[in-house]
Amino acid sequence: MKTLVVGNSLDVLPVIEKILSDKDQEVVLFTTEGVLPYDRTLLPYVLNDPHVEAHLFKSAEIFLTSYKPKVITQENLSRISVKRKYLTTEKKIQIDYDKLVIVDTGHLILPPIKGHQRAGVFDCWQLSSMKALKKHLVFSDHVAVVVSNIQGLNMACAIAKLKKEVMIVSPTAGLLPEIFDDETGLLLKQILEGKGIRVFGESCLEEILGDAETKAIRLKSGKIIACDTVVFDEAKVDIRILSEPTLTDSDTLAIEANFRPPVFPLAPARFGLDLFDGFYAGWTKLPEGGREYLKFDGPQNIYKKIYAQGDHLAGCVLFNAPDDQERLLGVLQRQDNINGHEEEII
């Protein structure tokens, strides 16, 4: 049985591992960007550190050395015929298969904002996009980042470190409401503004203005802001490359996790780059039946919030408290009994 796995993120690795657990299976990995699978969450760091790019592929290199599927990296995807069970490259090469798993297609659909096709508009989920953005930023002064997830927040921080004027557009007063509660989201907005990033809360991007190139953005309020670069952190995998509208029963559409809403509890993550030190793990909002505890040092912007459920730590959110990250993560992972000691551990 020959399974064709299509995608370029690290999400392809557990898919391949599961398939190859059956010794009668053959796997062909077709990468959609001409490089080995890579960690998309590191892409914002590529803008500031030229050495990061080499680290994007480390996990894939180790995995592929062990599992040894056939890997095709030098072809561009043109079309997939679900009914006839083959993939066609731009060079007209056909790759047949018995089963198909699509993790991504190498093509993204940006939000349907008027003007999103103009020059100066980028996504933040593909290495090719980061390389193009890096070249574009040499001539850019004013950058708008539409932030709805941690990737977008990190992109805004990375661009701000390049001494560009950065503005964040958020549909809510506080940032990242799908991850943080209102109090945390509002404090995050305050911290970023203290770092020189303008945050337009309770605003939605209505239109990108300009002729061929981006010149300004219009918010839903009608406010027009000069801007030569727009970055979206929201994107969907474009599956219109399939020749038929749906996959067969034996095939799978396993869109990578980066393009999906967050799932609680959250895996540990650091964010903010070097602009500020952000960290979360586990539950980042009050779980049902849970308790929350808070410490805040305004002058230092040190913010610590933990969530407890029963006798155990359920999650934590930390801003500018690097010395507490590993300690609280250990308490969370070991599921230590913290009942009556919540104030002490925070």
The predicted-structure confidence for 29-75, as pLDDT tens digits, reads as follows 999 999 999 999 999 999 999 899 999 999 999 999 999 999 999 99
Residues 252-277 have a mean pLDDT of 93
Gyration radius from the chain CA atoms: 22
198-202 long-range Cβ contacts below 8 angstroms, 24+ apart: 198/165, 198/166, 198/167, 198/168, 199/167, 199/168, 199/170, 199/175, 200/167, 200/168, 200/169, 200/170, 200/225, 201/170, 201/172, 201/173, 201/174, 201/175, 202/170, 202/171, 202/172, 202/173
Would you list the DSSP string of 118-186? SBTEEESS-HHHHHHHHHHHTT--EEEEE-SSHHHHHHHHHHHHTT-EEEEE-SSSSS-TTTS-HHHHH
What would the mean pLDDT of 119-125 be, rounded to a whole number?
A: 98
Degrees (nearest 5) of the Cα angle 204, 9, 80? 95
Give bridge partners of residue 269 from the DSSP assignment.
Answer: 280
How confident is the model at residue 23, as a pLDDT? 82
At residue 245, does pLDDT exceed 80?
Answer: no
Residue whose structure tokens are 């959609």 = 32
Mean pLDDT of 91-97: 96
* Per-residue model confidence (pLDDT) at position 16: 97
Reported confidence tier of residue 6, pLDDT bands at 50, 70, 90: very high
- At 250 the pLDDT is 85
Residue 108: pLDDT band with limits 50, 70, 90: very high
Statement: the pTM of the whole predicted model exceeds 0.85: yes
> Do 111-232 and 266-345 come out as alike in CATH topology?
no
CATH 3.50.50.60 matches 2-107+238-259: yes
Q: What is the mean pLDDT of residues 226-251?
A: 91
- Pick from 207, 44, 190, 41: nearest CA to 112: 207
The average pLDDT across 18-26 equals 91
Q: What is the mean pLDDT of the chain?
A: 96
Tell me the mean pLDDT in the region 241-246. Answer: 83
pLDDT for 244 equals 82
**Range 111-232: architecture per CATH:** 3-Layer(bba) Sandwich (3.50)
Going from N- to C-terminal start, the domains of the chain cover 2-107+238-259, 111-232, 266-345
What average pLDDT score do residues 238-263 get?
Answer: 88
Task: Tell me yes or no: is domain 266-345 CATH 3.40.50.150.
Answer: no
Q: How high is the pLDDT of residue 156?
A: 98
Q: Residue 218: what pLDDT?
A: 98
